[in-house]
Structure 1
Amino acid sequence: MENAFIIDFFHLTAVAITVICFLVISGKRVIELCSATNSNK
Structure 2
Amino acid sequence: MEALVYTFLLVGTLGIIFFAIFFRDPPRVISDEKSKKK
**Interval containing the TM-score (normalised by the shorter chain):** 0.5 to 0.7
In our comparison, the structure showing a higher alpha carbon Rg is 1
Structure with greater proportional helix content: 1
Structure 2 unaligned blocks of 5 or more: 29-38
TM-score normalised over the length of structure 2: 0.65
Q: After TM superposition, where is structure 1 displaced by more than 4 Å over at least 4 residues in a row?
A: none
Distance in 2, Cα, partners of 1:24 & 1:9: 22
RMSD: 0.8
TM-score normalised over the length of structure 1: 0.61
Aligned length: 28
Structure 1 unaligned blocks of 5 or more: 32-41
